Structure 1
Amino acid sequence: MKQHIFPAVRLTILTLVFFSGIYTLVILGVAKVFPNHGKGEIMERNGKRYYANIGQSFTDDKYFNSRPSAVGYNAAGSGGSNKGPSNEEYLGVVQARIDTFLMHNPGVQKSQIPVELVTASASGLDPDISAKAALVQVTRIAKIRNVPAQKLELLVNENTQKPLLGLFGPEKVNVLALNLALDNLK
């Protein structure tokens, strides 16, 4: 028995020291080399600081809506709802989001609503939406802000981030950056 317990205890102590200390310090050191020194992507506008890599709630009709959050955009409690597509409660929540979106965007058909505008991400903090999800909201915002739709479409295109090296990942739009650019539009 001793021949099994002592090696297991040594291995446990070794992995605890490695992953709690050495690995953590290495990751911290690597983060310090990158921009913002591992403190996230911070944007400043009009004296306010925003974290561009954390999803935020935009529900006012004059702004582009964010992706819904299962955790109320609380970065301390990241997580999804863990409810599957056969869960009646989840289906009710998604249908309510669809109905709300259609009410605020009267010219849009149900089939035109991108899925990310009515479903929460796994983390509940996704800061990005697809260009399609942004473009489907242009008519509403153009009407409210009295801005030509073409100008807003151009703004969306200017704020669309292309896939890494043109291959990895989808095109995406950071909702915070897009809404800050929208507020600066003349």
Structure 2
Amino acid sequence: KTPFRAILKYKKGPQVLKISNIGPYEFPLEAAVHVPTNERAEKLKTMTEDLFEKSPKEFVQGGPGGSTKGGAIRTFPIPANVKSAQMIIWSKEVSGKGSKALIEVLQGPNNKKQVLDFSVAGGSQPYHCVFATPGDGVTIRFTSKQFLEFPTRIVVLPYEYEEVEELGTNWM
């Protein structure tokens, strides 16, 4: 019902990607990984960097770090006409360090539809993901788990949306 997509950029050399599900047995996880060609990877890199640079950014500092307690929280209400929203997380130019966060897609007060416990080791690569946001009352909540000294910046934009005259395509 609520698929999740992400684009990961790695530094050169061998890398490891861990995908896990700590939810109950009744809620299985289906995952797939695709490695693009070098040409396609370069296009994705350029697209992500351009989108990040041209968009308004939210500056987020951490808290005590290492736990879900006390970190800075940002919420992004998603208009009803937006079918999916994209988020780019990057600490480039603000700390250059990695990012750790809890990202939740909510529909209604604390009704979690998706939860992503996110961690990236370095600030040289952006993290770009797309969340399905069907229906009314969807909010993306970002809770920093990083130390106060290692801030990051976030961009949240529509990915797929329906033109609705009353709402227009205004975003945030």
TM-score by length of 2: 0.22
TM-score by length of 1: 0.21
Could you say which structure has the higher strand fraction? 2
Bigger Rg, which one: 1
